[in-house]
Structure 1
């Protein structure tokens, strides 16, 4: 049985918030649904509401989604934030990943994909709609590849490559014949060395530096 979760919707378009709220309220495991029209209102109330999941618009007047995500996660690193995107937001995808978003869906997604994204994120995974992933990869690969300085050890590169393949820490430990605790430590070191906040950030680093080909 899935525990009841509380959700925070952050978007400057009231009609969109009300539509998404109506869809989400039809899911039997969704409890309270809070709303904010911009990043400032969200930041003012997020500590009091303590949501399990946040749907965050990227482009909003005033405090936008990137800044709001970064500030919220600085106070609560365990908060799960899903970015709501339009195709026109493509240039902001990598910035939103850098801020710490763990999921990306298009605003015209149906409830089935929204729920799929929610389940993935709540299970500790990242989720990107196929259209958005294509845009992210296009945005990365069209830029000059960064000069990788080799700061990662050979083992760390092996772990990073395995992470990019979508393997769990247990699967990586079995593949590389090392303990899960060792994999956990390598993942922590990778996040620090690459200045990444989550798995999505590690994947972006690997692609930019030629560790993972696309």
Structure 2
């Protein structure tokens, strides 16, 4: 007998959540167990109920894109994540999949793709919306991802600053950054403070967004 797939719908627009729940209600062996309108609520729900799948709006309040996917996977490693977004930027598609999402749907796509995505995930396959498949199929997408030596920042950064930026965007603490780079935690903290001041960034979410924008691998 096919296992019931438990799903949490996460989007900050109530009309989108209702639309998704309506679509899901027509599918066999699917149960929407909760819904969330922000990242903090979603994390609490995932920690408490351990659903099989989250349909995640990447633009929802409290969701720092790829970094949030990493955080969800840390809370529930076996849970599948289906990204739902209006963003069709190839770099974002590749970063989201690289971070561990099992699917990527666009809000402008055909509603039938939701069923196709769930079927693919039950087969442990990755599903990409028709409108973004070029991001993976494009031969250029198979080139090595940018590194701290090749990513380009609008504001010139030293190699050490790029390393600090990349590690901070991954959510590493000052002590973890220090261990990775072979420096003291105090030095790592000072580097990070100087970097944030230089780039006018104020928190980890902004650091992750900046790193993603310039092409640094943060997943």
Say whether the 8 Å CA contact 1:56–1:65 is kept in structure 2: no
Q: Does 1:22 align with 2:22?
A: yes
* 1:35-69 CA-partner distances (Å, limit 9, x unpaired): 11122211111021221111111222333342322
What does residue 70 of structure 1 align with? Answer: 70
Greater RCO, 1 or 2 (C-alpha within 8 Å, sep 6+): 2
What does residue 191 of structure 2 align with? Answer: none
Deviation at 1:21, TM superposition (A): 0.8
Q: Which TM-score applies when normalising by structure 2?
A: 0.58
Unaligned runs of 5+ in 2: 148-219
Aligned residues: 147
CA distance in 1, matches of 2:141, 2:28: 41
Alignment of 1:46-65 (within 5 A): 46-65=46-65
Q: Relative to 1, partners in 2 of residues 1:144 and 1:53: Cα closer, same or farther, differing over 3 Å? A: closer
Q: Relative to 1, partners in 2 of residues 1:17 and 1:140: Cα closer, same or farther, differing over 3 Å? A: farther
Q: Relative to 1, partners in 2 of residues 1:25 and 1:137: Cα closer, same or farther, differing over 3 Å? A: same
CA distance in 2, matches of 1:99, 1:50: 19
What does residue 11 of structure 2 align with? Answer: 11
Larger Rg: 2
Alignment of 1:70-89 (within 5 A): 70-89=70-89
* 1:79-109 CA-partner distances (Å, limit 9, x unpaired): 1111112145544222212321011111233
Alignment of 1:30-179 (within 5 A): 30-137=30-137, 140-141=140-141
Unaligned runs of 5+ in 1: 148-214
Deviation at 1:138, TM superposition (A): 5.1
Q: Which TM-score applies when normalising by structure 1?
A: 0.60
Q: RMSD between aligned alpha carbons?
A: 2.7
CA distance in 2, matches of 1:41, 1:89: 27
Q: Relative to 1, partners in 2 of residues 1:61 and 1:27: Cα closer, same or farther, differing over 3 Å? A: same
